[in-house]
Structure 1
């Protein structure tokens, strides 16, 4: 990875002034935890209705009574307009304290169609964008993190600005959850059921990685589910077959759908409080509490079948993924179509060629 202290060239002017980080003190509350809950509901496409909605809604009302509220104009609420969110999954966990954004997704939700389109970009995408130094997509977030104090701009806002420009769409909100939060969600829901597509073995004593999964239908813990979505290559004897960013995207979608099924069950709903508490310190977001409440009421009945996945493919030439420009344009258009309420099919995975040669 490039030196995180290395500066980035000034971005070309967009006509907007960067938003400075607020210095006002914020008391620690359940609001941050609630953000995890809303993110999970809306982006994964959780279906909650009838008594479930009533049960959760009562808990939500209590949560929203705490924390800091910011007024949102009625015309900007989720019920009144489509919203686009940037979703980041970072590799930070207690034993590996870095912030590589190994999951980068853009989601547009439309209140009129009660549907969403979710685009995922390969983490190793070579970003070549005016105003930014060329590098891997997942390296920008930690660099922005290292510059927060000097720039006065949050890393999340920097990522939102950059990805808005790259995808040619206005992004309203950004949320970043780390690997520890992912682990905790899976564990609090009692694990996930997936089909492991191949034997997976990789060990790295430097960060404690010990991936050892066998092919077949499995019930995975949080640690195992993280291994499942992260696996890239093997250093074991005998070696197991490698994966690439596109295989990882498929597995991420499989885990997300399994988590939906877990949350749809009464047992999953009953564990909701523990899920919220478990990821209290693992999420950063800029969604206002009023907006979250409105999202909740607007998207209670969204179906997971109405969440359309659009992974973008490309070609692997170490150390980068070179994006398929046609697929990227199709993904951009899919987000615009979602915003406009135009129906578009989901795609299971992007195309890919060649295989990776670096560790998970």
Structure 2
């Protein structure tokens, strides 16, 4: 943990009226899709993994891949807790913030999971830190200052304490994978519900989509699910409309992935993962994970998005909701809950 010597900004008491957190819902659902790509690739696991997958599994694992995982610790036997981090590392922005933070618990017997998402601006004050930070800043702090054991040690400790549950592993996903996966699948066929135009030269965003049923490539699909406002004369979007788009794209991704079984497509999917995913899960455990959760879909995952009130510069979560989320995570590990699809599920 940090010894408290790193200068951290003071908490400011905002006078803003409480409001619901502004969610990066497209990122949250994108992350779910990226996690599930291991399962999607696992559809063809038995035939192709050792032909095209092993190089990418070894590439994304930063663990000592010579170690053996005890049988009782493998994913097909032991319920796992995984800290999921989403990194937007566009070169022209030079960012290292993890704008997606999720805790995932998985039960191998029931083949189900519980996924709790934390807003990136959540007020977090870990033990050992003099002052609070936004949740999305701790990975950058740990990375720059070399805190913790390995690349993920500090953030696993911080968010393990926050959720009162110790992560077995961490997975970092760069959102370039979202585009690469869709391109690997040959695009997704979706209905674009309105014209969309938005340009931001600072980060290279250039959204220009027309209404109608159409095939979108990776870049276009990312634009489709990200679109929120316009500066080129088209109508803005509500969070509800964005959520519908995200569900539509992820459903199509799952359908497309299940329909392909060629070595070329599996190779491209695995390359998208290998180039954009980093984890401290050993290669042997990744293989066990894939085989265990083949066939897992979004309907098998209970999705719990935590929300709160905004008082600049933080989001303050409802403590009762946090405690309920902690309980749900633990119930999943103990096999005491079965997720029921709801309108907040990541895909229909």
TM-score bracket, normalised by the shorter chain, equals 0.7 to 0.9
Partner of 1:321: 315
Partner of 2:167: 171
Partner of 1:191: 187
- C-alpha distance in structure 2 between counterparts of 1:59 and 1:291, whole Å: 18
| Residue 333 (structure 1) shift | 1.7
- C-alpha distance in structure 2 between counterparts of 1:195 and 1:127, whole Å: 39
Moved more, 332-341 or 307-316: 307-316
- C-alpha distance in structure 1 between counterparts of 2:119 and 2:191, whole Å: 22
Contact 1:79 1:294 in 2 (8 A): yes
- C-alpha distance in structure 1 between counterparts of 2:320 and 2:213, whole Å: 35
Distance 1:112 1:159, change over 3 A: same
| Residue 253 (structure 1) shift | 5.2
Distance 1:270 1:65, change over 3 A: closer
Partner of 2:331: 337
Choose between structure 1 and 2 for higher RCO, CA contacts under 8 A separated by at least 6 residues. Answer: 2
User: How big is each residue's C-alpha offset from its partner over 1:187-235, in whole Å with a ceiling of 9 and x where there is no partner?
Assistant: 111223455566654322122112344566554322223234444544x
Matches for 1:184-223 after TM superposition, within 5 Å: 184-194=180-190, 200-213=196-209, 219-223=215-219
- C-alpha distance in structure 1 between counterparts of 2:123 and 2:216, whole Å: 32
- C-alpha distance in structure 2 between counterparts of 1:47 and 1:239, whole Å: 38
Aligned residues: 311
Contact 1:189 1:268 in 2 (8 A): no
| Residue 65 (structure 1) shift | 10
Distance 1:226 1:263, change over 3 A: same
- List alignment gaps of at least 5 residues for structure 1: 10-36, 351-360
| Residue 144 (structure 1) shift | 2.2
User: How big is each residue's C-alpha offset from its partner over 1:297-351, in whole Å with a ceiling of 9 and x where there is no partner?
Assistant: 322243442122222222345543332333322222221111011224344439x
Say whether 1:134 aligns with 2:132: yes
Say whether 1:298 aligns with 2:295: no
- C-alpha distance in structure 2 between counterparts of 1:224 and 1:88, whole Å: 23
User: How big is each residue's C-alpha offset from its partner over 1:21-60, in whole Å with a ceiling of 9 and x where there is no partner?
Assistant: xxxxxxxxxxxxxxxx994345xx64966xx443234437
**TM-score scaled by length of structure 1:** 0.73
| Residue 73 (structure 1) shift | 1.8
| Residue 175 (structure 1) shift | 0.9
Select 2:121's aligned residue among 120, 124, 137. Answer: 124
| Residue 154 (structure 1) shift | 3.9
Partner of 1:109: 106
Partner of 1:309: 303
- List alignment gaps of at least 5 residues for structure 2: 10-32, 60-64
User: How big is each residue's C-alpha offset from its partner over 1:246-286, in whole Å with a ceiling of 9 and x where there is no partner?
Assistant: 87677555543332212111267750102222443322110
Select 2:254's aligned residue among 234, 257, 260. Answer: 260
User: How big is each residue's C-alpha offset from its partner over 1:164-202, in whole Å with a ceiling of 9 and x where there is no partner?
Assistant: 111111111111111222221121112234555666543
- C-alpha distance in structure 2 between counterparts of 1:249 and 1:141, whole Å: 27
Partner of 1:55: 47
Select 1:241's aligned residue among 213, 221, 236. Answer: 236
Distance 1:331 1:77, change over 3 A: same
Contact 1:124 1:138 in 2 (8 A): yes
Partner of 1:70: 67
- C-alpha distance in structure 1 between counterparts of 2:319 and 2:245, whole Å: 23
Distance 1:96 1:251, change over 3 A: farther
Distance 1:310 1:211, change over 3 A: same
| Residue 238 (structure 1) shift | 3.2
Partner of 1:145: 143
